[in-house]
């Protein structure tokens, strides 16, 4: 048993921070939450982690990442077409996604998992888009994530764009991974397909049925920019979320990522049907997709998690994006307060992914947690702590990270890991990808 006694405890984003409080970890879960004095008196024989200059808070949940995406950071796009459809068809699909192999995916998975742990992320959901790396790419990823000791949900983005054989293999890849995962283990799977413009209604309905049979969520990217909604109107006579509603997919077992360009009706449907949503403020900026109406969706009762989309994976940066972008869009400094952002980054993400007892430090909940340096140049108070944390901390302020009761980062070092070696290996694989060899 371990007592973790920080300067400040943030047990959950919907509770005020408490000075002089800590937690007791027993096995893989939080056993008790209380003041230092109470915990020390009650458990005098426990090992004690004293951290007076730290904030203890739940580990972050990166609710949408593409681990392979790191290999494309900085890839030359000078020759790529600027039109959305040609960019996908003539550049991104053939030159990046179709060129990925298992060796590249394993290197990126290992490096990004270590990097995410280092920045306080303890859980994530990954979407792999690599039609020529299946079958078994997900099983290879699973082995890497298990070695890292992270809580990871993995999926392959099945699509019909590359032909019938790859389409069938894509669904099979997800089903095989889900079936191979221990229900009580750290690694699990989701069913996933690309979009309405690369998958037929029959294919989507079949995938959704396979997920329902296995009791897991289904995932798709939805309206990342203006294109999918317009495509749907042209081909189906109504917009994307309306189409998913008609197919019987729009419900609490559907995770819709992005949700940037939405009509009023689509917003209503997402909230009314309890569709789970992930928000990726920085990646939305990168692709010029727009700004998702997240405050409005949350006000309407939607469950929203935060994701990096594999772009900038430092969650402090992602949180800052979510904190600031809606203030500018709505011309309202009160929009998207810090506690709401921290909720999306922790419990909101866990709820969106269907992770139970993850994302807050309550008794009986998973001991997924992090310690962050609390030495600021201005006084820390229960009223300003969330903002101080969001605005003026970065991954290098995270000193220690625990997943399911096991320390994975101590004193800023990812345990048993040579980051320079992982980085060099990933760099070598990125060179292979870029050169098409
Ligand atoms: Zn994505």
Q: How far is the CA of 43 from the centre of ligand 1 (A)?
A: 45
Instruction: Identify which of 61, 75, 146 has the alpha carbon closest to the alpha carbon of residue 104.
Output: 75
CA of 309 to the centre of ligand 1 (A): 5
pLDDT in tens, 92-146: 899 899 999 999 999 999 999 999 999 999 999 999 999 999 998 999 999 999 9
Q: What is the pLDDT confidence band of residue 87, given thresholds at 50, 70 and 90?
A: confident
pLDDT of residue 385: 98
Q: What is the pLDDT of residue 437?
A: 67
Rounded mean pLDDT, 265-278: 97
Identical fold for domains 2-58+369-403 and 60-352, yes or no, is no
pLDDT at 192 over 90: yes
Cα 309 from Cα 211, distance rounded (Å):
22
Pairing type for strands 406-410 and 398-403 reads antiparallel
Give mean pLDDT, residues 272-277.
98
Whether the per-residue pLDDT at 82 is higher than 90: the answer is no
Please state, for a pLDDT cut of 90, what percent of the chain lies above it.
Answer: 93
Domain extents in the chain: 2-58+369-403, 60-352
Question: What global pTM score does this model have?
Answer: 0.97
Q: CA 191 to CA 153: how far, in whole Å?
A: 10
In the CATH hierarchy, which fold is given to the domain comprising 60-352?
TIM Barrel (3.20.20)
Cα 2 to ligand 1 centroid, rounded to whole Å: 38
13 has a pLDDT exceeding 90: yes
Report how far ligand 1's centroid is from the alpha carbon of 283 (Å): 8
Cα 96 to ligand 1 centre (Å): 14
Q: How far is the CA of 88 from the centre of ligand 1 (A)?
A: 14
With 70 as the cut, is the pLDDT of residue 272 above it? Answer: yes
Q: pLDDT by residue (tens digit) across 181-190?
A: 998 899 999 9
CA distances from 286 to 119, 149, 225, 280, 283 (A): 21, 31, 11, 10, 5
Please state which CATH number belongs to domain 2-58+369-403.
2.30.40.10
* Residue 64 Cα to ligand 1 middle (Å): 6
Quick: pLDDT tens for 341-354.
999 999 999 999 99
pLDDT value of position 80:
83
Could you tell me the distance, in angstroms and rounded to a whole number, from the CA of residue 258 to the centre of ligand 1? 8
């Amino acid at each position: 048993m371990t007592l973790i006694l920080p300067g400040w405890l943030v047990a959950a984003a919907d509770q005020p921070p408490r000075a002089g409080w800590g937690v007791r970890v027993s096995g893989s879960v939080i056993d008790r939450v209380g003041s230092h004095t109470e915990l020390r008196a009650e458990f005098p024989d426990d090992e004690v982690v004293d951290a007076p200059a730290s904030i203890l808070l739940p580990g972050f949940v990166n609710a949408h990442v593409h681990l392979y995406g790191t290999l494309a950071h900085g890839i030359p796009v000078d020759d790529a077409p600027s039109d959305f459809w040609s960019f996908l068809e003539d550049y991104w699909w053939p030159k990046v996604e179709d060129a990925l192999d298992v060796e590249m995916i394993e290197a990126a998975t290992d490096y990004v998992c270590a990097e995410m742990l280092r920045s306080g992320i303890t859980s994530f959901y990954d979407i792999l888009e690599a039609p020529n790396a299946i079958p078994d790419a997900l099983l290879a990823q699973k082995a890497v994530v298990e070695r890292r000791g992270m809580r990871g949900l993995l999926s392959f983005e099945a699509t019909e764009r590359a032909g019938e054989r790859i389409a069938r293999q894509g669904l099979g890849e997800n089903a095989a991974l889900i079936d191979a995962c221990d229900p009580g283990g750290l690694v699990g799977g989701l069913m996933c397909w690309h979009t309405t413009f690369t998958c037929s209604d029959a294919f989507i309905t079949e995938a959704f049925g396979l997920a329902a049979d296995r009791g897991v969520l289904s995932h798709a990217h939805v309206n990342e920019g203006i294109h999918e909604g317009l495509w749907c109107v042209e081909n189906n006579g109504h917009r994307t979320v309306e189409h998913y509603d008609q197919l019987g997919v729009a419900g609490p077992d559907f995770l819709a990522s992005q949700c940037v360009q939405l009509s009023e009706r689509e917003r209503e449907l997402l909230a009314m049907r309890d569709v789970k949503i992930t928000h990726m403020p920085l990646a939305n900026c990168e692709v010029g997709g727009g700004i998702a109406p997240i405050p409005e969706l949350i006000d309407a009762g939607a469950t929203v998690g935060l994701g990096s989309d594999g772009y900038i994976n430092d969650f402090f940066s992602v949180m800052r994006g979510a904190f600031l972008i809606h203030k500018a869009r709505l011309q309202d400094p009160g929009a998207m307060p810090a506690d709401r952002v921290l909720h999306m980054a922790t419990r909101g993400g866990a709820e969106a992914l269907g992770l139970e007892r993850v994302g807050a430090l309550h008794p009986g909940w998973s001991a997924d947690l992090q310690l962050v340096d609390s030495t600021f140049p201005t006084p820390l108070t229960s009223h300003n702590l969330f903002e101080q944390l969001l605005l003026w901390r970065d991954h290098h302020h995270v000193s220690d990270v625990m997943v399911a009761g096991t320390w994975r980062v101590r004193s800023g070092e990812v345990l048993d890991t040579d980051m320079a070696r992982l980085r060099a290996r990933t760099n070598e694989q990125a060179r292979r990808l870029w050169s098409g060899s």
